[in-house]
């Protein structure tokens, strides 16, 4: 697009978030003019079936009429008051009713902010400094968490982010995802110094990596024993894999849950919550300070409330499951027919196709993927009018408004793109 040179003059790499750049796949990033339902149209008039969904929030597609109406109505009443509203209570009540571990919730403005605040809370409660995260998991860009992180850092090949105070990074311990023996070993030695273990209950930022059976349960047991807090980063999985998130799906209860994406109905929102006892440490109840001018702002709360009402209707998750299963079966059939090495992972409406022969269980296995093949495949798909994340190491998202016909078109497009990529 002609916009890219102009964008590069005034924004780093021409983008406002690195994952939007096409560095890993070549070419110019998309500049979008408009979007509706499952379709996006770029400024050059190209139309795409979209499986990025703004990186997860758009579970009902772009510009859902009820959400648009709620935002428009609220805008006329004011966009931000810096004071409390009933909309905030309504959304908090819905989150509390839906998410098993949450009695009290604080709204913030992004997933990063939620996670950053949750870590401070865990450190404040325990009086300990260390945290444990898993390699390839990404929890936003707070300093403590940009250590062996997934998402854009893998796509761009950044193993260590400069600018992080080393004495802080040293407090972040990392281990391979899905390896409970290593977690037990570490907790034997250092458990009493660990404030929190943070995990994406379904890895989503190195592509989709589901937890092995028993992994999350074991994390809960180990942290409890050590007096450390278990934080589930459900920014991606919350309200996506079930209304109660991954914790409801797997029946494992964390101490703190971080949320983002879907909760804001497409507007910038994050949230973190837990039991009353835990959340009472937060100001103004307690002395762990965390604040925000636009937190709980009425536009985002209005959108989030409608999103919840839509999600609460019968059959939403069943239909998402059906569509996602159909798409993944079709994609799998293609690779089998063409004799291409690929692994498929999926939990509900989040899915990945990894170009490797290795079973996907952690970051090491994810890194065995043929990224050159992915690059050719991605560009082939784009040619055919299908947009997936421009990186092998990101999840795909199905929405409730993708139609059967679009899924068939995607499977057909994928077959063509695979054939071309194979050469």
Binding site for ligand HOZ (CB under 6 A): 17, 19, 55, 138, 151-152, 205, 394
CB 45 within 8 A of CB 281: no
Let me know if 163 is exposed, middle or buried by CB neighbors in 10 A (0-12, 13-18, 19+): exposed
H/E element, 168: helix 166-169
Residue 206: CB minimum distance to ligand HOZ, A: 9
Looking at the Cβ atoms of 35 and 302, the one nearer to ligand HOZ is 35
Closest CA to 334 of 422, 395, 396: 422
261 catalytic? Reply is yes
Q: What is the CA radius of gyration of the chain?
A: 21
Looking at the Cβ atoms of 17 and 80, the one nearer to ligand HOZ is 17
Catalytic residue, chosen from 261, 362, 370, 377, is 261
For residue 286, cis peptide bond before it (omega within 30 degrees of 0): no
Looking at the Cβ atoms of 223 and 391, the one nearer to ligand HOZ is 391
H/E element, 397: strand 396-397
DSSP 360: P
Residue 56: CB minimum distance to ligand HOZ, A: 7
192 catalytic? Reply is no
Looking at the Cβ atoms of 15 and 41, the one nearer to ligand HOZ is 15
H/E element, 150: none
Catalytic residue, chosen from 138, 272, 317, 387, is 138
Neighbours of 68 (CB within 10 A): 15
Tokens matching residue 2: 């002609």
Looking at the Cβ atoms of 258 and 418, the one nearer to ligand HOZ is 258
Closest CA to 381 of 325, 419, 333: 419
Residue 295: CB minimum distance to ligand HOZ, A: 20
CB 389 within 8 A of CB 354: no
Tell me the C-alpha distance between 55 and 389, whole Å. Answer: 8
Closest CB to ligand HOZ: residue number? 17
Q: Which residues pair with 352 in a beta bridge?
A: 345
Looking at the Cβ atoms of 362 and 394, the one nearer to ligand HOZ is 394
| Residue 54 zone, left/alpha/beta (φ > 0; ψ -120 to 50; rest) | left
Residue 179: CB minimum distance to ligand HOZ, A: 22
Looking at the Cβ atoms of 152 and 298, the one nearer to ligand HOZ is 152
Tell me the C-alpha distance between 42 and 250, whole Å. Answer: 39
181 catalytic? Reply is no
Residue 18: CB minimum distance to ligand HOZ, A: 7
DSSP 393: T
Residue 42: CB minimum distance to ligand HOZ, A: 18
Looking at the Cβ atoms of 138 and 355, the one nearer to ligand HOZ is 138
Residue 240: CB minimum distance to ligand HOZ, A: 12
What are the angstrom distances between the C-alpha of 90 and each of 41, 148, 237, 272, 370? 34, 38, 21, 16, 47
Catalytic residue, chosen from 42, 50, 233, 255, is 233
> CA torsion sign, 346 to 152 to 258 to 256?
positive
List of residues 6+ apart from 15 with CB closer than 8 A: 7, 21, 29
Residue 281: CB minimum distance to ligand HOZ, A: 27
What are the angstrom distances between the C-alpha of 126 and each of 120, 123, 129, 229, 233? 10, 5, 8, 8, 19
* Residues with active-site annotation: 138, 233, 261
């Amino acid at each position: 697009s002609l916009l890219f040179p102009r964008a590069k003059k005034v924004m780093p790499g021409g983008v406002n978030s690195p994952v939007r750049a096409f560095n890993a796949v070549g070419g110019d990033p998309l500049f979008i003019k408009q979007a509706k339902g499952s379709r996006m149209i770029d400024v050059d008039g190209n139309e795409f079936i979209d499986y990025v969904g703004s990186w997860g929030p758009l579970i009902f597609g772009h510009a859902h009429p009820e959400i648009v109406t709620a935002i428009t109505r609220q805008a006329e009443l004011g966009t931000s008051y810096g004071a409390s509203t009933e909309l905030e209570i309504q959304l908090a009540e819905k989150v509390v009713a839906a998410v098993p571990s949450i009695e009290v919730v604080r709204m913030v403005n992004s997933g990063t902010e939620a996670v950053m605040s949750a870590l401070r809370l865990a450190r404040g409660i325990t009086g300990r400094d260390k945290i444990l995260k898993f390699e390839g998991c990404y929890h936003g860009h707070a300093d403590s968490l940009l250590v062996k992180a997934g998402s854009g850092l893998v796509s761009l090949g950044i193993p260590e982010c400069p600018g992080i105070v080393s004495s802080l990074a040293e407090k972040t311990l990392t281990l391979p995802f899905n390896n409970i023996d290593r977690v037990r070993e570490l907790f034997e030695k250092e458990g009493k110094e660990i404030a929190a273990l943070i995990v994406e209950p379904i890895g989503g930022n190195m592509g989709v990596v589901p937890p092995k059976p028993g992994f999350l349960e074991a994390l809960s047991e180990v942290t409890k024993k050590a007096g450390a807090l278990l934080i589930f980063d459900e920014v991606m999985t919350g309200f996506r894999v079930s209304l109660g998130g991954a914790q409801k799906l797997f029946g494992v209860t964390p101490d703190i849950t971080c949320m983002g994406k879907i909760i804001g109905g497409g507007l910038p929102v994050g949230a973190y919550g837990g039991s009353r006892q835990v959340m009472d440490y937060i100001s103004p109840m307690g002395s762990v300070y965390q604040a925000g001018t636009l937190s709980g702002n009425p536009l985002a709360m209005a959108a989030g409330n409608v999103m919840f009402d839509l999600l609460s209707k019968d059959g939403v998750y069943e239909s998402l499951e059906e569509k996602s299963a159909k798409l993944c079966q079709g994609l799998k059939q293609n690779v089998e027919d063409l004799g291409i090495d690929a692994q498929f992972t999926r939990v509900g409406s989040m899915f990945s196709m990894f170009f490797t022969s290795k079973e996907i269980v952690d970051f090491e296995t994810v890194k065995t993927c043929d990224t050159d093949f992915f690059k050719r495949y991605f560009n082939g798909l784009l040619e055919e009018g299908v947009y997936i994340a421009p990186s092998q190491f990101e999840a795909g998202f199905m929405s409730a408004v993708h139609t059967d016909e679009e899924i068939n078109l995607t499977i057909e497009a994928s077959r063509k793109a695979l054939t071309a990529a194979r050469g």
